[in-house]
């Protein structure tokens, strides 16, 4: 009777069919296949075993960049060298120092002053001469300091292999100490600390 009822029910309106669970493996028989490990799948999708796709700007509608030639690579290496950076800082320091010297000479009331005749009014030629001399003096000092600082920072960065605020502090201490050491050990220590603090402040402001 049960078989007939099941046959009639299957012929008429079939009911819900339940998936039969796999029979447990008999002892000593073949083991069932292991379940899918999602960790392995994730490693192939986003993990270490993921194959990186080559980025092609032309495929995305962008402008493809041609490979760099040996001349371009040589120019880039020359521009990233310590000698080029020191020369650039020297030129920039010379221009900045000259402008600063001329500006300070323009607001100084003692420009063109003659100690032998303090009541004589200096001429325009004497004032311009003093302004030029002060500008050249400031330009030389700024150029030397800029070249020393830039070259020292480049050497320290190449040695450490890092680009952080410590490079500026170390190079500022070395530059200030070398400049102040000419006046004595105490002046060298003060110059080292002053330049290091100034370099740290400028680096913090720029970053």
Identify the pLDDT of residue 12. 45
- Is residue 186 pLDDT above 80, yes or no? yes
The mean pLDDT of 47-70, rounded to a whole number, is 64
8 A C-beta contact, residue 98 and residue 140: no
Q: Does residue 70 lie in a domain region? A: no
| Burial grade of 177 (CB within 10 A; 0-12, 13-18, 19 or more) | buried
8 A C-beta contact, residue 173 and residue 151: no
Identify the pLDDT of residue 30. 61
What confidence category does residue 74 fall into, taking pLDDT thresholds of 50, 70 and 90?
confident
Any idea which of 9-18, 89-98, 177-186 has the lowest mean pLDDT?
A: 9-18
Q: Are residues 87 and 153 in the same domain?
A: yes
Give the domain range for residue 136.
77-162
Identify the pLDDT of residue 148. 92
Q: Does residue 71 lie in a domain region? A: no
Query: How many structural domains is the chain composed of?
Result: 2
Q: Are residues 85 and 120 in the same domain?
A: yes
Any idea which of 43-57, 102-116, 184-198 has the lowest mean pLDDT?
A: 43-57
Q: Does residue 103 lie in a domain region? A: yes
Q: Does residue 139 lie in a domain region? A: yes
Q: Indicate the angle between helix axes 124-160 and 165-180, nearest 10 degrees.
A: 130
3 state SS of 192:
helix
Output the CA angle 27-29-30, nearest 5 degrees.
130
Identify the pLDDT of residue 170. 92
Identify the pLDDT of residue 181. 87
d(CA 101, CA 92): 14
- Is residue 36 pLDDT above 90, yes or no? no
CB within 8 A of 95, min separation 6: which ones? 139
Q: Does residue 53 lie in a domain region? A: no
3 state SS of 108:
coil
Determine which helix (DSSP H) or strand (DSSP E) holds 5, and give its type and residue range: helix 2-11
Q: Does residue 114 lie in a domain region? A: yes
């Amino acid at each position: 009777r049960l078989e007939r009822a099941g046959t009639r029910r299957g012929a008429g309106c079939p009911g819900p069919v339940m998936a039969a669970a796999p029979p447990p493996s008999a002892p000593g028989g073949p083991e069932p296949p292991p379940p899918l490990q999602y960790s392995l799948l994730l490693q192939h999708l986003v993990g270490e075993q993921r194959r990186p796709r080559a980025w092609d700007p032309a495929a995305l509608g962008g402008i493809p960049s041609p490979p760099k030639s040996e001349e371009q690579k040589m120019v880039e290496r020359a521009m990233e060298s310590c000698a080029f950076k020191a020369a650039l800082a020297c030129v920039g320091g010379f221009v900045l120092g000259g402008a600063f010297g001329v500006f300070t000479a323009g607001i100084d009331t003692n420009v063109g002053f003659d100690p032998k005749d303090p009541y004589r009014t200096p001429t325009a030629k004497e004032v311009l001469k003093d302004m030029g001399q002060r500008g050249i003096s400031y330009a030389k000092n700024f150029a030397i300091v800029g070249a020393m600082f830039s070259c020292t920072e480049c050497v320290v960065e190449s040695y450490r292999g890092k680009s952080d605020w410590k490079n500026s502090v170390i190079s500022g201490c070395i530059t200030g100490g070398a400049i102040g050491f000419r006046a004595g050990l105490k002046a060298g220590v003060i110059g080292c600390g002053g330049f290091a603090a100034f370099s740290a402040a400028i680096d913090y402001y720029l970053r």
